């Protein structure tokens, strides 16, 4: 199955990207240990920071996302979460999933709901789409696809961390 996706490099202006990445890659933002990446018991882990979920702001750092939200122009936000995956000795690919299957019951082919992955640093990690497409982790890149598209994340082996923003929204 061919995935429907777009990739936009240099998504934010240099100034806006620097401002956001300074916060996200800095020492002040709290990261929370999550003992799984996709599903409980998957044997993987990551650190997360939830900014927004179902009409509720969960983070004092939410205002730092204003420029990216202005650029994606959502009709409605569903969830924004940052994922920080530490360096691995070899690439670890998470299980395939879509961001709506467990939470919102999104069905394949349902239009108007998007997942976007915004990459905050460059590494050899990537996002793997269900058609085999590998979207490389490149700083200031935004990859977007319908929320029903199954995807997996791949850890990095060349940097200390891989950090992405995961945005789910309605057009």
* pLDDT given for residue 66 in this prediction: 98
Q: Which two tokens stand for residue 144?
A: 């977007």
Q: What is the C-alpha separation between 5 and 116, in angstroms, rounded?
A: 9
The residue written with tokens 């429907």 in the block is 4
What would the CATH number be for the domain defined by 6-170?
A: 2.60.120.620
Q: What is the C-alpha separation between 139 and 5, in angstroms, rounded?
A: 18
Reported pTM: 0.93
- How many other C-beta atoms are found inside a 10 Å radius of the C-beta of residue 142? 21
The residue among 149 and 17 whose pLDDT is bigger is 17
Where exactly are the structural domains of the chain? 6-170
Mean pLDDT of 132-158: 96
- The tens digit of pLDDT for each residue in 50-66 reads 999 989 999 999 999 99
DSSP β-ladder status, 151-154 and 161-170: unpaired
Say whether 20 sits in a helix, a strand or coil: helix
What does DSSP assign to residue 25? T
Q: Cα dihedral sign for 133, 139, 145, 150?
A: positive
- The tens digit of pLDDT for each residue in 9-68 reads 999 999 999 999 999 999 999 999 999 888 888 889 999 999 999 899 999 999 999 999
Say whether 154 sits in a helix, a strand or coil: strand
Average pLDDT, the chain: 92
171 touches 74 (CB < 8 A): yes
């Amino acid at each position: 199955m061919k995935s429907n996706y777009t990739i936009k490099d240099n998504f934010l202006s240099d100034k806006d990207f620097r401002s956001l990445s300074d916060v996200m890659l800095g020492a002040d933002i709290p990261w929370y240990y999550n003992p799984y990446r996709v599903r409980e018991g998957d044997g993987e882990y990551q650190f997360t920071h939830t900014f927004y979920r179902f009409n509720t702001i969960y983070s004092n750092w939410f205002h730092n996302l204003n420029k990216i939200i202005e650029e994606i122009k959502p009709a409605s936000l569903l969830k924004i979460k940052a994922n920080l995956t530490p360096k691995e000795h070899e690439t670890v690919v998470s299980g395939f999933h879509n961001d709506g299957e467990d939470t919102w019951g999104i069905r394949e082919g349902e239009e108007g709901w998007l997942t976007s992955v915004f990459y905050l640093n460059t590494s050899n990690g990537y996002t793997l789409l269900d058609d085999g497409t590998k979207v490389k982790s490149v700083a200031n890149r935004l990859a977007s696809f319908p929320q029903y598209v199954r995807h997996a994340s791949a850890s990095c082996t060349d940097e200390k961390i891989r950090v992405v923003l995961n945005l789910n929204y309605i057009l």
